[in-house]
Chains A and B, each alone.
Chain A
Amino acid sequence: MSIREPLKALALFIAAFILCGCVKDTTLDAGLERKVVVEFVLTEDNVQNLYLSLTGEPGEKVVPPVQETEIRLIDVTKSKELNRDIVLNEFVRVSDNQWTLDYAGIPGHEYRLEVKADGYDLVWAEQIMPEKVELARAAIGHGVPPKYTGYGAFYTIDSIPDFLIIRGTKRNKETGEYVMVEDLCTDYPGVEDINATGRLYDGNPKWRTGVAWGGDSFVYHDSPVAGMDGVWTYMFPNLIGKELHDGFLLIKRVDDNHAGLDNLYDFENGKGFCISGSFYINHAYYNPDYTLIDYDEYLLYSSLSPDYGQFLKDVWQLKKVHEGDDLSSIYLRDNIHSNIQGGLGIFGTSVSDRVNFDGYNQDTASLPKIEL
């Protein structure tokens, strides 16, 4: 055979050579069955909101709403006392995926939520509503160095619940509306770092001698906290170098010793810790005789059931990832905590209260509710 023929064939094959990786879309749809999603957080408010929906399948833009459904909230504690199911008021559907219930949760009671959506198995969850905890402003004398402990806001708490979330609120200077405090900081040892901003409370303080009310001289830091209007570190020297948190402080119960809180401050009514943040502080209004006439900065704190605390923590982290621009986040496969048996979502309970941020303890119950 002549060599020409194979060479021709060779040339033909080189010419026809194809190296093209064909590409096509894939949904990676594992064919999972839809699940019922329930979101219900029972509080002491008079009206409760429940959200009920179905999961969406991969690539689905519009998820069909739940059709006929039966929702029951049972006070298990009372049911045990009376030896029969105590089903609370009826849930009223107010939109495709929202229901309301006229009922205020009772701290310490155990509840069971049952949801039966048409075409799906019953899903349920049980929760115990946390007992109230009291976060109290601790009186303190600031002293002078080296015993100077600052003028800051110290608080004591009678017990640490499974999860405690603390937020701050202040009035907008121009509109007078309540707004959330952007940054919060604490020296509580067990605070979660999921919402740490990466910024620290002050960084370069200098000591200065000043004159306090009443004419006493004292030494204080003079550095303002970076990015915080009116917050001076001389008021919170204990927080210097601590992490600023975005919008809230989340404290998870670690042990009976408050994650080392014993090492901090002793007050008459318990162990104390310090909280500060981007409050105005100088917005405290006093009469000429220094009696408080209005105080409009508060710490709002909620004791959360363990499932709800974990759920909030997971949601926060997910939201942070979704809103970020880190490509590696597409590889996350962590599920948000759920306690809904047979479904997804959360049945949580929460007991809330508030305390003055930087003033005398007041009867906050008598103050109007703050809508944020």
Chain B
Amino acid sequence: MKVSKLLSLLPLLLPWSTQAQEVAWTDTLRAAVKTDTRSIVRSINKLESSAVILRGVVSPMGEGDPVRWSQGLPGVSTGADGSSAMYVHGGNMGNNLFSLDGVPVYGYSHILGLTTAIPSSVMESTSLSKGGFEGRYGNFTAAHLNIITRDPAVNKVHAEGTLNNFLAGAAAEAPVGHGMSFMASARISPIGPEYKAFSQLLPSRLAAFQGFRAGVGDIYGKFNWTIDNRSRLSASALLSLDQYGFTTGEGSRDALGWNNEIAILKYHRILDRTEMDAHAYVNRYGSMQRQEKNYHGADNLLSLNSSMLETAVSADFTPRSYSGWRFDYGFKARYGLFAMGPVAAHAGKGVTLVSSYLQASREIPGKLHMQAVMRGNCYYNFADGLTSLRPDACLSFKWNLTKSFALEGSADYVHQYYHTLEGLPLGWSTDVIVPSGRTAPPEFALQGNLGFSLAIGRHSASLGGYYKRMGNLVYYKYAQTLFTDTFAGWENNVDIGSGNSFGGEFLYEYLGRDIYFRTAYTLSKTDREGFATLFDGGKFHARFDRRHIFNMQGRWKGFSMAMTLQSGHWENGAPLTYQIHIPGLETDAEYYEGINNFQMPAVFRLDLGYELVFRTGRIEHTVNLGICNVTNHFNPFMLYFDPATESWKEIALLPIMPNFSWRVEF
């Protein structure tokens, strides 16, 4: 029986039983575990977690992060195994908004995607919204993963150090008087030296993967000033860098990298009737991928670079007190510059997007929560003159039918003005972000969720379904020209189409005395169609259309496990071949039946971990030990073309691998 069929039966086998009676229990779990379970808002649309919980997610890094946490939730399809890519309800990766204190982080992945560029030591909380979006966040159509950072402590000095397989870091925070405080964090990766050491020990293991070098690190700093009892100012900055290079044979060199540079200024003011949050930020994201290969005797250099620079100001107003309906409102104005091509230099004219919103919400304690958002977007592309005035509308509700049973739903009609190009060639992973224009109008999504949630005793569960329709998706149809054309020409090489996704998702949690267990299952179908020049506009699979996604996480005392079993994603399959006999034009020809027509093998990974907490004097140590991919299942991370053999090869990033993390705090 196929894996996919087995997977489809799994929800029926889940140990989920609805116990009608209330269960009295005494909580003996450590605070971290308790926070986990209780901090997750049991909503189909929005799930939340604290930083402590994020760290507890078993991961190859030894400690978890927001993306690892999100990838285990229902409705979320992951990218290649080990990567931090995620696809929510059939959207593209670029349709997600990953934000740091509300500011987009376009290149959030770190260490080849094993973690995120934001250190967990500065995080306060994380939330994942899949529908019923809030008014203050716009320009995305799939999901919002929002990370809120802590404010530096104003009454104590705190320092911590971390070390794990891939990163070594230090963080400190301290008050500086007059209501001011700061915190800073820096991390650097030792994987370059680690690789060298390992390659000397076991050179044969690395025969196909040589000369690895890496430059990876991040710095985060935040300054906080409580000006008076009504005003607060904070300034923060994030710098991150990922650069990798390796050779896969003689004359074959690969390099890829990306970086973020973000500076945020935030001002909070309590006014007479409202509270105001004002933001200003500058955000630069760059990525590059480069291949040097000898092909048919000639040296080839293929290079793809992408860069964007965004600056924005915003203000959000919330009422200080209200009865009945509550109204929030605000605006955001941003200006962006983009570059893409063999070289990426910001030149020419940019785009501007101005949005304002009104959000109405109503809470009847224990009965009903509902929220409605109207947002107006005004977009202008200075390069080609496209003007777009489009509304967004979001609606969500949670209706508690009984104490333990609630009906939930949401509906969204939203637009996105930045595109992340689909259709990049096989083996190329650089995220290329381009703005909407006359040839690539703003993307939109119309989606709806409906489901119920149940919480009885130690058990809680939710079951829901969704449907999503996406429009104006952008597909880069002439992959070859990516490496020859300039940015000015990308519009001529894209095709516009649409997408559909529907599915059901299930989440179950059990919180026992010493046991925590969570399982999530998603059954979904996502396709793309209507790209006129691509196989007559026919349907094809979205690349990460994983039919079955089954995740399980468990913890017993200090032991933890995480398991994922997912249908394989889709790649462009190899062609059929045939011969041409026309005199003078004899050649071998190829026939491609479609796009994304080859399904990669199913992904399976089992990770085990153990957490040890102890003190030495004033220092608290937290050590996580684990084994990633216990079964050593080969889960491809990426594909690349080997010009020597003229064949495609798969690289798995995560073979069976021990991991550890060590955190000291004082």
- A-contact bits for B630-666, CB 8 A (1 contact / 0 none): 0000101101010101011111110111111010000
Across the interface, B659 reaches (CB within 8 A) one of A13, A23, A29, A53, namely: A13
Q: Are A19 and B576 in contact (CB under 8 A)?
A: no
Q: Name B636's closest neighbour in chain A (CB-CB).
A: A26
* Contact (A322, B621) CB under 8 Å given A20-B655, A55-B578, A331-B479: no
Q: Which residues from A are CB-within-8-Å of B579?
A: 37, 51, 53
Judge whether A315 is part of the interface by a CB distance below 8 angstroms: yes
Q: Are A25 and B647 in contact (CB under 8 A)?
A: yes
Q: Are A327 and B302 in contact (CB under 8 A)?
A: yes
* Contact (A336, B623) CB under 8 Å given A19-B194, A19-B212, A53-B579: no
A71 vs chain B, min Cβ distance (A): 16
Across the interface, A6 reaches (CB within 8 A) one of B297, B585, B662, namely: B662
Q: Are B194 and A17 in contact (CB under 8 A)?
A: yes
* Contact (A335, B592) CB under 8 Å given A13-B658, A17-B658, A53-B579: yes
B208 vs chain A, min Cβ distance (A): 4
Judge whether B191 is part of the interface by a CB distance below 8 angstroms: yes
Across the interface, A26 reaches (CB within 8 A) one of B591, B593, B639, B643, namely: B639
A174 vs chain B, min Cβ distance (A): 22
Judge whether B271 is part of the interface by a CB distance below 8 angstroms: no
- A-contact bits for B252-284, CB 8 A (1 contact / 0 none): 000000000000000000000000000000000
Judge whether A330 is part of the interface by a CB distance below 8 angstroms: yes
- Give the distance in Å from the alpha carbon of A344 to the alpha carbon of B578 in the complex: 9
Across the interface, A35 reaches (CB within 8 A) one of B291, B591, B648, namely: B591
* Contact (A39, B582) CB under 8 Å given A17-B658, A326-B300: yes
Q: Which residues from B are CB-within-8-Å of A55?
A: 576-578, 591
Q: Which residues from B are CB-within-8-Å of A367?
A: none
Judge whether B195 is part of the interface by a CB distance below 8 angstroms: yes
B430 vs chain A, min Cβ distance (A): 14
- Give the distance in Å from the alpha carbon of A10 to the alpha carbon of B116 in the complex: 23
A250 vs chain B, min Cβ distance (A): 12
Q: What band does the interface of chain B fall in when counting residues whose beta carbon is under 8 Å from A? A: 35 or more
* Contact (A9, B625) CB under 8 Å given A27-B574, A29-B574, A32-B573: yes
Q: Are A39 and B580 in contact (CB under 8 A)?
A: yes
* Contact (A24, B296) CB under 8 Å given A19-B212, A58-B575, A315-B587: no
Q: Which residues from A are CB-within-8-Å of B659?
A: 13
- Give the distance in Å from the alpha carbon of A107 to the alpha carbon of B645 in the complex: 48
Q: Which residues from B are CB-within-8-Å of A336?
A: 580, 589, 591
A6 vs chain B, min Cβ distance (A): 5
Q: Which residues from A are CB-within-8-Å of B636?
A: 26
Q: Which residues from B are CB-within-8-Å of A26?
A: 636, 639, 648-650
Judge whether A325 is part of the interface by a CB distance below 8 angstroms: yes
Q: Are A9 and B623 in contact (CB under 8 A)?
A: yes
- Give the distance in Å from the alpha carbon of A21 to the alpha carbon of B483 in the complex: 26
Interface positions, chain B 579-624, Cβ under 8 Å from A, are: 579-582, 584-585, 587-593, 595, 597-598, 612, 614, 616, 621, 623
Judge whether A67 is part of the interface by a CB distance below 8 angstroms: no
- Give the distance in Å from the alpha carbon of A21 to the alpha carbon of B650 in the complex: 9
Judge whether B325 is part of the interface by a CB distance below 8 angstroms: no
Q: Which residues from A are CB-within-8-Å of B173?
A: none
Q: Which residues from B are CB-within-8-Å of A30?
A: 573-574, 593, 597-598
Taking each of B208, B590, B659, which has the highest tally of chain A beta carbons within 10 Å of its own beta carbon? Answer: B590
Judge whether A263 is part of the interface by a CB distance below 8 angstroms: no
Judge whether B35 is part of the interface by a CB distance below 8 angstroms: no
Q: What band does the interface of chain A fall in when counting residues whose beta carbon is under 8 Å from B? A: 35 or more
* Contact (A325, B480) CB under 8 Å given A9-B660, A30-B593: no
Judge whether B484 is part of the interface by a CB distance below 8 angstroms: yes
Judge whether B295 is part of the interface by a CB distance below 8 angstroms: yes
Across the interface, A322 reaches (CB within 8 A) one of B587, B593, B651, namely: B587
Q: Are B577 and A328 in contact (CB under 8 A)?
A: no
* Contact (A24, B649) CB under 8 Å given A6-B621, A10-B660, A56-B576: yes
Judge whether A57 is part of the interface by a CB distance below 8 angstroms: yes
Q: Are A10 and B662 in contact (CB under 8 A)?
A: yes
Q: Are B296 and A13 in contact (CB under 8 A)?
A: no
Q: Name B191's closest neighbour in chain A (CB-CB).
A: A19
Q: Are B425 and A331 in contact (CB under 8 A)?
A: yes
Q: Are A23 and B581 in contact (CB under 8 A)?
A: no
- Give the distance in Å from the alpha carbon of A327 to the alpha carbon of B206 in the complex: 25
Q: Which residues from B are CB-within-8-Å of A18?
A: 198, 205, 655-658
Q: Are B205 and A20 in contact (CB under 8 A)?
A: yes
- A-contact bits for B467-509, CB 8 A (1 contact / 0 none): 0000000000001101110000000000000000000000000
Judge whether A316 is part of the interface by a CB distance below 8 angstroms: yes
A140 vs chain B, min Cβ distance (A): 32
- Give the distance in Å from the alpha carbon of A34 to the alpha carbon of B591 in the complex: 10
Taking each of A10, A247, A328, which has the highest tally of chain B beta carbons within 10 Å of its own beta carbon? Answer: A328
Q: Are A327 and B293 in contact (CB under 8 A)?
A: yes
Judge whether A211 is part of the interface by a CB distance below 8 angstroms: no
Q: Which residues from B are CB-within-8-Å of A345?
A: 578
Q: Name A320's closest neighbour in chain B (CB-CB).
A: B587
Query: Can you name 12 extra interface pairs (CB under 8 A) apart from A39-B581, A327-B302?
Result: A10-B660, A13-B625, A19-B194, A24-B649, A28-B639, A30-B597, A35-B576, A51-B581, A325-B297, A327-B291, A331-B425, A335-B590
29 pairs, CB–CB < 8 Å, chain A vs chain B = A1-B614, A9-B660, A10-B163, A13-B625, A14-B660, A19-B212, A20-B202, A20-B209, A22-B634, A23-B248, A23-B649, A24-B649, A25-B648, A25-B650, A27-B574, A27-B647, A28-B573, A28-B639, A41-B582, A51-B581, A60-B577, A322-B588, A325-B298, A331-B426, A332-B480, A333-B572, A333-B592, A335-B591, A345-B578
